[in-house]
Structure 1
Amino acid sequence: MELLSYMRLFVEVARTRSFRRAAEALDMPNSTLSRHIAELEKTIGLRLLHRSTRKVELTEAGDVYFKRCQSIVEEARIAHESLLDVVERPSGTLRVSMPADLATGYLAPILADFATTYPLIAFEFDLTPRRIDLQADPFDLALRIGPPPTAPSMLVARQIALLPRYLYAAPGYLKKAPPLTVPDDLRHHVMCIAQGTLRQGDVVRTLYRGDESVEVTTPTRFAMNSVGLTRSLAAHGVGIAAMDTELARDDVDLGRLVRVLPEWSLSPVQVHAITETRLLPARTRLFIEFLKARLGNA
């Protein structure tokens, strides 16, 4: 049992490449962690880590050991936590990175329901669109809007939702702007677009109506990585924004926004849950399944 415990400590140090970050994640003193790793190396008879004041690197033997230990430790953790599934009382802290727009626009009521269903789970939410390193940062999963990541290759992306997008504008903007009755009219309007690649200028967009599709070249004066900001700008009469009905609902109810070209929509946006491994503890797996069930009906 002691060897497995030492292996778990070594995996955390090797994963983060830092005794300090590993000690924080393990909630133990740095000196204690360093002593246990030294005892593990003494037991094995090989040096596993190159230590310096600036960084920690794996030795050749350490790299081989890390690859074997990682799966062993993960399997042991899953075996232990699977017992919680039997009594349906998963616990521990769930650490999730997700964009603020997704969290506040969609997930708040879902998170509340999940917390009520599983009262022994604690939560740490990091609301950011930045690309975190799931191997080095202490997160169980990241929720991301858009296509799944292509690198690093070991990441596992599960699609949990497709969010439809429609066009909205303020009544005041529409009174002053050129007529807007068919998709091609968008060429004469200002677009506020939230997208992964921030760029202004003309962009070809595809609109859909049932089985029919049409491509339109639209000017984009405002490009940003926040759907919430596009909604606010559109409500202030700056231009036309693309968003889901859920995000636009309050402004539509208050008369600040109206849906334009109501028979047409843009391609839906993918939402993915991204993890470092397919071997997930109960709380993470249940959370992903809960989101997929609820967002799938959004």
Structure 2
Amino acid sequence: MIENVELQWLLSFKAVYEQLSFKVAAQKLQMPTSNVSRHVALLEKTLDLRLLERTTRKMTPTSAGAKLYHGIAPITLALDDLLEEVCLDGESLVGHLKIIMPDLSFLSEVVAEFCLQNPRITLSCDTQLNPTEGLLEGFDLVLRFGRGQLEDSGWVAKEVMRWPSCVVVAPQLNERYPMPQSIDELSKVPCITSLSVLQGMPWHFKNGRTIQVLSNYKVNSGQMAKAAALKGLGFAILPSHACETDISNGALLKVDLDHAPEDLVLYALYSGRKYPLAKVKAFLGHLEQSMKYMLQL
């Protein structure tokens, strides 16, 4: 029977099963929705089975559909791994690299240079600071920032770079609020926090200490947090290198507390396979070398 079934039909069915949407599956596969729908219909016709129950409101896998999905999922994964491994025998990397990462200039340079060095790599990149767990499916690599312990997931987390951080305050705000001496006192003054990234709140400090802070200014941007801190809108945790000039010229004051903030860490997360895909391994090596070069500047 396998000679009557095309691989793309199975890949389209797998994507639709995972997304429960022809439209979202088509976006993931980067093909027209009509093609994905036709592939599933041809597969059902060939097997003479209904694999997905469709209504105007929702889509539900049948028992036959669930059985087929759980059977082909590990096979397609193993096949993809094999193709990646075979590509290592060639002179250059080949494949489709799918990444989620923050929209930051230095990361943009790293990705562009990698693709320039590997012209047979096709790139799909989504820029987000805090991708949800379900969104990660279908991507090879996720770059994200963390402060403190990461949440448990089925992904392998590799530390790429670490930035020591400090708590700062503008002089004009310090005139209204005495300088905190402890993290408990810090919890009683206005602070600038992230909206959803870096776990938002609580704030994380060394030795596993955390505090809830008062905040009327929540942003998913280090630059916006720094700008707000300079305006005196609140105390902020910032990477030390990002505010050392402002501390030197007096625009910001460093707050010495009984516990130092946790470092800001850039993590690379990839699927928890027995080994990373060749394209992922190559990109991680390129990223690490690029970050080392940046530190030397």
8 Å contact kept, 2:181–2:257: no
Q: CA deviation at 1:18?
A: 1.9
The TM-score normalised by the length of structure 1 is 0.72
8 Å contact kept, 1:189–1:218: no
Q: CA deviation at 1:216?
A: 9.4
Looking at structure 2, the residues matched to 171 and 214 of structure 1 have their Cα atoms a distance apart, in angstroms, of 29
Partner residue in 2 for 1:242: 237
Higher relative contact order (CA 8 A, sep 6+): 1
Q: Equivalent of 1:54, from 30, 52, 57? A: 57
Are 2:280 and 1:284 aligned?
yes
For residue 262 of structure 2, give the secondary structure of its aligned residue in structure 1: strand
Deviation sequence 1:1-50 (CA, Å, 0-9, x none): 75433322221221221223223333444344333323323433433222
Change (3 A) 1:160 1:88: farther
8 Å contact kept, 1:148–1:157: no
8 Å contact kept, 1:16–1:135: no
Change (3 A) 1:27 1:217: closer
For residue 22 of structure 1, give the secondary structure of its aligned residue in structure 2: helix
Looking at structure 2, the residues matched to 215 and 19 of structure 1 have their Cα atoms a distance apart, in angstroms, of 46
8 Å contact kept, 1:194–1:224: yes
8 Å contact kept, 2:180–2:186: no
8 Å contact kept, 2:182–2:258: no
Change (3 A) 1:260 1:284: same
8 Å contact kept, 2:156–2:272: no
For residue 135 of structure 2, give the secondary structure of its aligned residue in structure 1: coil
Change (3 A) 1:267 1:149: closer
Q: CA deviation at 1:58?
A: 1.4
- Count of residue correspondences: 282
Q: CA deviation at 1:160?
A: 2.0
Looking at structure 1, the residues matched to 216 and 291 of structure 2 have their Cα atoms a distance apart, in angstroms, of 28
8 Å contact kept, 2:136–2:142: no
Partner residue in 1 for 2:84: 81
- Specify the code of the residue in structure 2 equivalent to 1:159: K
Q: CA deviation at 1:93?
A: 4.4
Partner residue in 2 for 1:159: 158
- The structure with the greater share of residues assigned to strand is 1
Looking at structure 2, the residues matched to 218 and 12 of structure 1 have their Cα atoms a distance apart, in angstroms, of 41
The TM-score normalised by the length of structure 2 is 0.72
Looking at structure 1, the residues matched to 10 and 187 of structure 2 have their Cα atoms a distance apart, in angstroms, of 61
Are 2:13 and 1:10 aligned?
yes
Looking at structure 2, the residues matched to 251 and 115 of structure 1 have their Cα atoms a distance apart, in angstroms, of 36
8 Å contact kept, 2:9–2:39: yes
8 Å contact kept, 1:15–1:135: no
- Specify the code of the residue in structure 1 equivalent to 2:134: D
Q: Equivalent of 2:150, from 148, 151, 154? A: 148
- Specify the code of the residue in structure 2 equivalent to 1:111: V
Change (3 A) 1:264 1:291: farther
8 Å contact kept, 2:84–2:95: no
Partner residue in 2 for 1:125: 126
Deviation sequence 1:78-121 (CA, Å, 0-9, x none): 22222333335334443333345xx35x6344434434443443
Q: CA deviation at 1:225?
A: 4.4
Q: CA deviation at 1:263?
A: 10
Q: CA deviation at 1:63?
A: 0.6
8 Å contact kept, 1:10–1:37: yes
8 Å contact kept, 1:141–1:276: yes
Change (3 A) 1:255 1:80: farther
8 Å contact kept, 1:183–1:216: no
Q: Equivalent of 2:262, from 261, 267, 279? A: 267
User: Sequence identity, in percent?
Assistant: 24
Aligned residues: CA RMSD: 4.0
Q: How does 1:94-109 map to 2 (within 5 A)?
A: 94-100=97-103, 103-104=104-105, 107-109=107-109
Looking at structure 1, the residues matched to 31 and 244 of structure 2 have their Cα atoms a distance apart, in angstroms, of 47
Partner residue in 2 for 1:228: 223
Looking at structure 1, the residues matched to 272 and 7 of structure 2 have their Cα atoms a distance apart, in angstroms, of 20
8 Å contact kept, 2:101–2:127: yes
